[in-house]
Structure 1
Amino acid sequence: MTDTAIAWDTYSQQRPERRRTNARGETTWFNWTQYPDHGPGAELLEVPAGGRVLDLGCGKGGNAAHLASLGVRAVGVDVSPRQLAAAQERWGATPGLELHQAEAVSFLAQDRDGFDTVYSVYGAVWFTDPTRLLPAIRERLRPGGRLVFSQRPPVEGCYGCQASYIPRGADEDPLVVKRWDYEPDGWERVLKEYGFTDVTADVLAAPPGKRTTGTLIVRTRA
């Protein structure tokens, strides 16, 4: 197992399971932010009826399963075997859902069918070198296809490749993974450099009474 897979396996153990229902009583739903019952939903993806969509860093599979429940052909990819095992256990029988354990760029390189939409929710777009990932996504997006992703806004002055720390036991050093942080105009510049157009990047404020950290949501088109 790679160091990256070990790190995300460790992270998986620290994350709670998705609730059985949300505030509206739904058993599947789409969530872009770190807060429950907050923000927009799957409409940002603009997936055509019967379209094929890729979740890069699908984690335990809740967002991809929701899309499959809407009649979309949803493909979830994650590098963590533990995350994928949890996704398979809960959502594996969902019609229209595929789950794959793979690194994002490698999976894109092997795919031959293409996608109408690629998305990432605090996932692989945040934690993969954009010089490798964005060309791979661009190659697999069908003409006019959407790329949409969300992540935490950057700390002021800390842009580009940064370190994220995943804690372990009290006597163990944390695990380190790389992430890529840009302000909205920085993402616009980077995406256009790799052939994407129609870029919109905005920070959605946290819900009232929560921490001040919002969610950066970026939308663009091939």
Structure 2
Amino acid sequence: MTKAKAWDAYAKQKPERRPVNAAGEATWFNWTQYADHGPGAEVLGVRPGSAVLELGCGKGGNLAHLATLGVNAVGVDVSLAQIKAAGARWSDTPMTLHRAEATHFLEETGAGFDSVFSVFGAVWFTDPAVLLPAIRRRLRPGGVLAFSQRPPIEGCYGCQASYINRSEDEDPLVVKRWDYEPDRWVELLTEHGFTAATAQVLAAPPGPRKVGTLLVRAHG
């Protein structure tokens, strides 16, 4: 599977999560691409016993944090390398990991979830016309969908190409991503039956980098 191969390559490049964050905590939730920045797990509105699904869980840092809060944490990733890394890093943390493509998992599982989320994950890299209806079918009434990704480049909307570099002797691997402005995400979510949709760009922290983070939230 080309998509899995690309994300396996990405897994090898991505640095491991720090042992602790700036507050000295071993687990934490981070929606943005910047360390110790932005809101946390409160965006999901979950409590102990809630069932939460992460689409594109990567190496499992955000999911592990939810598990420490007493959440029934389930993660899905198409990359076997990512799943193995998550299982190794968080072997003592009670969470369930599946290697699967996001839409396939949603179509095949019979489980319902109080929240579904994605942090620079599968929601960014899956056609929303296919993924959003699949998520809504799995969300329990009043459940929350939340996801974050980079804001779109002005004028570059819809399906775009992302490149994952490999060695100097190998061509980059290409995956598709879907970029929309905040207002368009609200429209898409509403069109697919979600309610109370909001989308905002969180400003980058002070410093030379100015690219913010798009954070989107809606109810099923």
> What is the TM-score of this pair, normalised by structure 1?
0.98
Equivalent position of 2:163 in the other structure? 165
Tell me which residue corresponds to 1:203: 201
Residue type of the alignment partner of 1:125: V
Matched, 1:119 2:117: yes
Q: CA deviation at 1:113?
A: 2.0
Displacement, 1:15?
0.5
1:110 partner amino acid: E
Q: How many residues align?
A: 220
- For the 8 Å contact 2:29–2:65, the answer to whether it is kept is yes
Q: Does 1:131 pair with 2:159?
A: no
Structure-2 separation of matches of 1:28 and 1:156 = 35
3-state SS of 2:54 partner: strand
- The answer to whether the 8 Å contact 2:195/2:219 transfers is yes
User: Which residue number in structure 2 is paired with residue 181 of structure 1?
Assistant: 179
Distance in structure 1 (CA, Å) of the matches to 2:48 and 2:131: 26
The equivalent residue for 1:101 is: 99
Over the aligned positions, Cα root-mean-square deviation in angstroms equals 0.7
Question: Which residue in the other structure is 1:61 paired with?
Answer: 60
The match for 2:49 is 50
Give the gaps of 5 or more residues in structure 1: none
Match of 2:33 in 1: 34
- Work out the CA distance in 1 between the residues paired with 2:116 and 2:70: 16
For the 8 Å contact 2:31–2:119, the answer to whether it is kept is: yes
Contact 2:79 2:99 in 1 (8 A): yes
1:33 maps to amino acid: T
- Structure 1 residues 139 and 63: CA distance shift in structure 2, 3 A: same
Q: State the 1:120 CA deviation.
A: 0.2
Matched residue SS, 2:46: coil
Deviation at 1:49, TM superposition (A): 2.9
Aligned match of 2:78:
79
- TM-superposed CA distance for 1:111, in Å, is 1.3
1:14 equivalent in alignment to 2:52: no
What do the CA deviations read for 1:75-103 (whole angstroms, capped 9, x no partner)?
A: 011000000000000113212x1011000
Q: TM-score, normalised by structure 2?
A: 0.98
